[in-house]
Structure 1
Amino acid sequence: MNKDITFLVAGGDLRQVYTAKKLAENYKVYAAGFDNNIIDFGNAIYTDYKMQLPELVDYIVLPLPASINGVFINAPFCRNNIPISALAPLLKNGGTVFGGKIDPSTMKIFSKCGIDTVDYFEREELNILNAVPTAEGAVQIAMEEMATTIYGQKVLVTGFGRIAKVLVKILKGLGADVTITARKYSDLSWAEIYGCKAVHTSVLDDAISGYDLIFNTVPAVILDEKRLERIKSNTLVIDLASKPGGVDFDTAGRLGVKVVWALSLPGKVAPVTSGEIIACTILNILKERRYTDE
């Protein structure tokens, strides 16, 4: 263990627990933001929400998202609010704060203290690897919600980004008849290479009625009233897009279309993997900084 480098992992859900455990395999790690020490933090040292540490730390790791309101740490497993401003005095000079989806208010609190913040959610490797638990979680939801197998079903996937690419591999492996809809012709070409049918978004209105299952990955309202009115009454829609989502939810409810808005799937279905991905991403950043300094 390298005791010369210290981390404080503060707040968050189970992903943060496994982030702390992974980092603690090689570094000295304190973990805070959970109401009791029943949780197994591995080699990490549990401390309560007051975070009375015996030493200053080199790095602080905040959750994803780092804060809900820009004032307190996002700590759903802690009954007490933990002010973001309480973290600055815990850092050594030159220390860094890592966090996911760091909002401007949180960033401002640290910048006033001259503390560097790094948003690990902006890292490409994290988003690529996170696509795996997201896609697996989406398929799990489909299996739980549908009264049929995925095998043989006509499935539409909107968009062809990271999540869609992983999702397609799983769906094709399960024997689904998969169609991709996208605006970019390059995406449609890649979809065909992946063994899928391809429909340009401009003609989706005429094609959307033929699917049993729809996965949306586009963070814009692509399933509007006109399209929702045309899908089959028993079609299941699983929205994987971040807020505001890709479905007109009010209209879907009025029409009786079943929609599952599946947010933050990595933390829900695979917190161990997701936490380890965060830890490895942070270590990648530190390696890059070390090489740059050299």
Structure 2
Amino acid sequence: MLTGYHVAVIGGDARQIELIRRLNEWDATVYLAGFDQLNESFREAIDLDFDSQQVEKLDAIILPVPGTDTDGKVEGIFSNQLIHLQEEWLKKTPEHCQIFTGIANDHLKELVRKVDRHLVPLMDRDDVAIYNSIPTVEGTLMLIIQHTDFTIHGSKVIVLGLGRVGMSLARTFGHLGANVSVGVRSSKSAARVYEMGLTPIDMNNLEGTDMSCDILLNTVPHQVVDASVIKQLPSHALILDLASKPGGTDFRYADKRGIKALLAPGLPGIVAPKTAGRIIADVVSRLVQEDTRKENG
């Protein structure tokens, strides 16, 4: 339970709906900004007034998974207005106030540093990323089925990256009967791929590697699927880039070659927002309570 805790939810997408519901169930005092199109769907919640004493009570501020833009603005699909995260009112929050975001850019990191508050980039946490890999894999399967005319079973699949999402992807596609290869950079990861019964690919030498496949899944957030890789793909191949924007694919060259390439970050919020919101809520609840217990000795 979060009785006595004050939490502000600022902007976001459908994941925040489940997050707000959970916070209300746990008896937190919830303040909302960027949800004016919901027509009072959350009557237990309070509209956040940035100029009021509400800010001085906040134990936590929860931003959307994308965080802010490079100017500190927060977007939300339930409002036509952008909310500007400002240093002046962040300074009014209690010293123990935690600021949660999915991804933290340099602007947000610097802003939080200036006000000396604790920033928690949730997508950097193993627990959140591993839980989120479940709806990510399901969304990946959905997109592949929609955009191909062949079965996953028996197809050749390459997964680039053996991180928390990459491992779930590799395991799932292997279980579905695909011929799976996984791009890795270390001998340790190569050993793990081999142990999983899959084929390791050395990502330090992709130009010298056979990269022809039916489905190419990228999880690496910098360009690795370049022209040297794309030119090896057959015309029917599908590239699905799951890395955060702008992804790790040369989309211009893929289009020039007639290869279908899709950038699909944030799949949990699209295919399973209720589950994704619950994941965020559970982790935030635990961290807020842990931090408050530390404050109280």
The bucket for the TM-score relative to the shorter chain is 0.7 to 0.9
Question: Cα–Cα, structure 1 residues 226 and 188, in superposed 2: closer, same or farther, change >3 Å?
Answer: same
2:178 corresponds to = 176
Shift of 1:262: 0.9
Answer yes or no: is the 8 Å Cα contact 1:21–1:44 preserved in 2.
Answer: no
What SS is found at the alignment partner of 1:64?
coil
Answer yes or no: is the 8 Å Cα contact 1:160–1:180 preserved in 2.
Answer: yes
1:28 corresponds to = 29
Question: Over aligned residues, Cα RMSD in angstroms?
Answer: 2.6
Question: Cα–Cα, structure 1 residues 215 and 110, in superposed 2: closer, same or farther, change >3 Å?
Answer: closer
Question: Cα–Cα, structure 1 residues 277 and 197, in superposed 2: closer, same or farther, change >3 Å?
Answer: same
Q: Distance in 1 between matches of 2:288 and 2:77?
A: 28
Question: Cα–Cα, structure 1 residues 192 and 108, in superposed 2: closer, same or farther, change >3 Å?
Answer: closer
Deviates more, 1:190-199 or 1:51-60: 51-60
Q: Distance in 2 between matches of 1:153 and 1:13?
A: 34
2:144 corresponds to = 142
Alignment of 1:236-255 (within 5 A): 236-255=238-257
Question: Cα–Cα, structure 1 residues 44 and 171, in superposed 2: closer, same or farther, change >3 Å?
Answer: farther
Aligned length: 291
Q: Distance in 2 between matches of 1:97 and 1:87?
A: 13
Question: Cα–Cα, structure 1 residues 123 and 171, in superposed 2: closer, same or farther, change >3 Å?
Answer: same
Amino acid across the alignment from 1:15? R
Deviates more, 1:171-180 or 1:31-40: 31-40
Q: Distance in 1 between matches of 2:183 and 2:107?
A: 37
Alignment of 1:1-294 (within 5 A): 2-26=2-26, 27-38=28-39, 40-41=41-42, 44-45=44-45, 47=47, 55=54, 56-85=57-86, 87-88=89-90, 91-92=93-94, 94-201=96-203, 202=205, 205-209=208-212, 211-290=213-292, 292-293=294-295, 294=297
Answer yes or no: is the 8 Å Cα contact 1:94–1:115 preserved in 2.
Answer: yes
Q: Distance in 1 between matches of 2:46 and 2:111?
A: 25
Q: Distance in 2 between matches of 1:132 and 1:32?
A: 29
Question: Cα–Cα, structure 1 residues 206 and 122, in superposed 2: closer, same or farther, change >3 Å?
Answer: closer
Shift of 1:284: 2.8
Question: Cα–Cα, structure 1 residues 4 and 260, in superposed 2: closer, same or farther, change >3 Å?
Answer: same
Answer yes or no: is the 8 Å Cα contact 1:60–1:91 preserved in 2.
Answer: no
1:94-141 CA-to-partner distances (Å, cap 9, x unmatched) read: 433222323343344455445443333332211221222222211111
- Structure 1 length normalisation: TM-score? 0.87
Question: Cα–Cα, structure 1 residues 138 and 185, in superposed 2: closer, same or farther, change >3 Å?
Answer: same
Amino acid across the alignment from 1:208? M
Question: Cα–Cα, structure 1 residues 53 and 139, in superposed 2: closer, same or farther, change >3 Å?
Answer: farther
Answer yes or no: is the 8 Å Cα contact 1:133–1:265 preserved in 2.
Answer: yes
Question: Cα–Cα, structure 1 residues 257 and 278, in superposed 2: closer, same or farther, change >3 Å?
Answer: same
What SS is found at the alignment partner of 1:3?
coil
Gaps of 5+ in 1: none
Shift of 1:198: 2.3
Q: Distance in 1 between matches of 2:52 and 2:38?
A: 15
Q: Distance in 1 between matches of 2:75 and 2:182?
A: 36
Amino acid across the alignment from 1:95? C
Amino acid across the alignment from 1:260? L
Answer yes or no: is the 8 Å Cα contact 1:159–1:216 preserved in 2.
Answer: yes
1:16-59 CA-to-partner distances (Å, cap 9, x unmatched) read: 22222122221222232123234754x75153x75687844322
Question: Cα–Cα, structure 1 residues 178 and 93, in superposed 2: closer, same or farther, change >3 Å?
Answer: closer
Shift of 1:279: 1.4
